[in-house]
Amino acid sequence: MGCSSCSTGKPGGCKSNGGCSTGGCNRLNVHDWLANLPFSDPDSDCRIVEVTFNNGSRKEFYRNNTLQPFMKGDMVTVEGVSGFDVGMVNLSGELVRLQMKKKGVKEDNPEIKKIMRKANDMDLQKWRESKEREKPSLVRARAIIIQLKLDMKLIEVEFQADGRKATFYYTAEDRVDFRELIKIYASEFKIKVEMKQIGIRQEAAKIGGIGSCGRELCCSSWLSDFKSVTTTIARYQNLTINQTKLSGQCGRLKCCLNYELDTYLDALQQFPNNADTLELTRGTAQLIKKDIFKNLMWYILPDSNKQYPVPIDRVKEIRAMNARGQRPDELGAIELSPAKAEEKEHAHVELVGQISLRTLERNSKKRRDKEKAQQQKQQPQRPGGSQGQGQRQGGQQQQNRPPQQQRQGGQQPGGKPQGGQGQQQRPPQQNRPQQQQRPGGQQQPKQGGGNQQQRPPQQNRPQIEKKKDQPPQNDNA
C-alpha cells in the first residue's frame, strides 16, 4: 500500500522504491474523499484531527485548539505522558466525525488530548533519536525476559518522541507477573515503562508480511476490526478442514474466510432444511455436502460408498413423500459427465521434406560399423596377410616391414622380451636397410590373436646381403 511515486524515488514519495511491505510507507491510511468539497458553514468544521504513530500502527484523535489548518502528511507535536510526542496527520475535516462515530468516540470528550504545534526541527531531531533507540532496546529487553524465565513474548518497543516513556507490546497465553521486570526496565533504560498485552492477530499486524494470496496482510494494510473466525464458517463454504491451508501467518484461521460468508448464506437459503437424511426402500441416505454452484446435494447410501448428486427439487419431493410415510425406490440421482474440451480441427499441413531423418541415419551407420568390426574379428587368420608369412628358419618378417633387431637372451613369444622389460619399436623409415641380428638369439614368431595394422610398403629399399649362417629367405611381397 504505497504512493504512486514510491518506486521513482522522487521527493514527493516515501523513497522506499517499492519496499512498502517493509514498513517504508504509512499503514492503515484513509482516503479523504471530502477534502476538496466546499461547506456552506465553515464554522461547523470539525476541530478534531486523526494522528498516526509508528508508521500507522497506532492512531489517536487530538483536538486542534490552535486553529491552524493541518493537511494530511503534516508532522505535528501533540501532548504525551509527562512530555510530548510527534506524529503524522492522517485525517482532518468532516470525515473525522464519521471515523469518531464508527469507533464510538464523542467529540466533546474531555479526555481527548490537544495538538501543541506543528513539529519544528528540534522536535523532529528528538523524535529521530528516540526511534534509533527502539531496536537496541528490544534486543536488550528480550534478553532480560529470558534471564527472568518469564513465559511471555516481547513483540515491539515504541518510544515517545521526547524519550521519557516507552511502551512494551507483548503476547502471553497466561497471566504474567512482571512487577520485577518493570523495575529492571526502568533502571536499565531510564524511562517510564508501560506494558501492553496484545493478541496474536495484532502481533501479525505489527510485524507485517505477505499472505498466501501474494498480497500484503489485510491486518497490516487496512483491516482494523478483528472478528472471530470459526470452523463453522469453513463448513458453510464446503472447505476442507485443513489447518495448514486455512491458517494465516498468525497461526489462526484466516480473516478472509469472513469476506464471502454472507454470499454463501444467501445461496444456502434455497436449499431445503432438515434434509440431512432421506428415507428410501434400500435404507437411509445420508447427506455429504451441498454444491451451491450446481444446486446439487450429494448423498451416500448405506450399502454403497458411491456419492449420488441429487437436484434440489428431487430432495424436496422425497422429503414430502417421507412426511406422508412413503419411501421411494430410487434416489433419483443424475449422472454428471466430465466436461471435455472441444477438439479443434487442425488444417492440413504438408510435412514432406520438413522432417529430417538424420538421427535414424546416424544410428544405422553406427550399427553397420559395429557389425563390420565384429565380422573382422571373427574372420580366420590368412597366410600372407597382415599378420605375417608364417614361421621360417631364423625368425619371422612382417609384410612390408623391416625386422627389428633382437637383443641377446632371446625373446618370448608374443613380442615380449625375456626379463619383463618391453622393447620399443621404431617406426619404419624410407631408404633404410634391414638391421642384422645380433648373435646369441633368434627372433621368435608373433602369436597375436588380433589383426595387426598393415603398413605401406617401403620404397627404394636396397637388398641386404644375407649372413652365411642363415638360410636365404623368400620375399613374397
Please choose, from the candidates 147, 149, 150, the residue with its C-alpha nearest in 3D space to the C-alpha of residue 188. 147
CATH class of 271-323: mainly beta
Set of cell numbers at residue 230:
470459526
Segments making up each domain of the chain, as ranges: 48-119, 126-198, 222-269, 271-323
What is the pLDDT, as a whole number, of residue 92?
86
Task: Write down the pTM of the prediction.
Answer: 0.60
CA angle 221, 226, 230 (to 5 degrees): 125
User: Residue 423 and residue 404: Cα distance in Å, rounded?
Assistant: 10
**What is the SS3 string spanning 165-213?**
EEEEEEECCCCCCCHHHHHHHHHHHCCEEEEEECCHHHHHHHHCCECCC
Pairing of strands 296-300, 58-63: unpaired
User: Residue 289 and residue 339: Cα distance in Å, rounded?
Assistant: 21
Torsion of CA 395, 396, 401, 406, to 10 degrees: -30
What is the pLDDT, as a whole number, of residue 298?
92
For residue 91, with 0-12 CB atoms within 10 Å meaning exposed, 13-18 middle and 19 or more buried, which class applies?
buried
Whole-angstrom Cα Rg for the chain: 49
Pairing of strands 192-197, 165-171: parallel
Number of Cβ within 10 Å of residue 369's Cβ equals 10
Set of cell numbers at residue 4:
504512486
CATH number 3.30.300.20 given to 126-198: yes
8 A C-beta contact, residue 297 and residue 290 = yes
User: Residue 422 and residue 419: Cα distance in Å, rounded?
Assistant: 9
Q: Which residue type does 21 have? A: S
CA distances from 460 to 399, 400, 429, 463 (A): 15, 12, 11, 10
8 A C-beta contact, residue 55 and residue 2 = no
Report the SS3 class of residue 113: strand
CA angle 108, 114, 116 (to 5 degrees): 155
DSSP 278: E
8 A C-beta contact, residue 89 and residue 30 = no
Q: What is the DSSP string of 117-156?
A: EE--HHHHHHHHHHHHTHHHHHHHHHHHHHHHT-S-EEEE
Set of cell numbers at residue 302:
448405506
Please choose, from the candidates 416, 391, 389, the residue with its C-alpha nearest in 3D space to the C-alpha of residue 401. 389
**pLDDT tens per residue, the chain (477 residues)?**
445 545 555 444 555 555 444 444 667 777 777 767 666 556 667 789 999 998 888 899 999 988 788 888 899 999 988 889 999 998 888 888 888 988 889 888 889 999 999 999 999 999 999 999 999 999 999 999 999 999 999 999 999 999 999 999 999 999 999 899 999 999 999 999 999 999 999 999 998 899 999 999 999 888 888 888 999 999 889 888 888 899 999 999 999 999 999 999 999 999 998 899 999 988 899 999 899 988 899 999 988 888 899 999 999 999 999 999 999 988 887 777 666 656 666 666 665 555 565 655 666 777 888 888 888 887 765 554 444 444 444 444 444 454 444 444 444 444 444 444 444 445 545 455 454 445 444 444 444 444 444 455 555 555 544 444 455 554 443
User: Residue 189 and residue 184: Cα distance in Å, rounded?
Assistant: 8
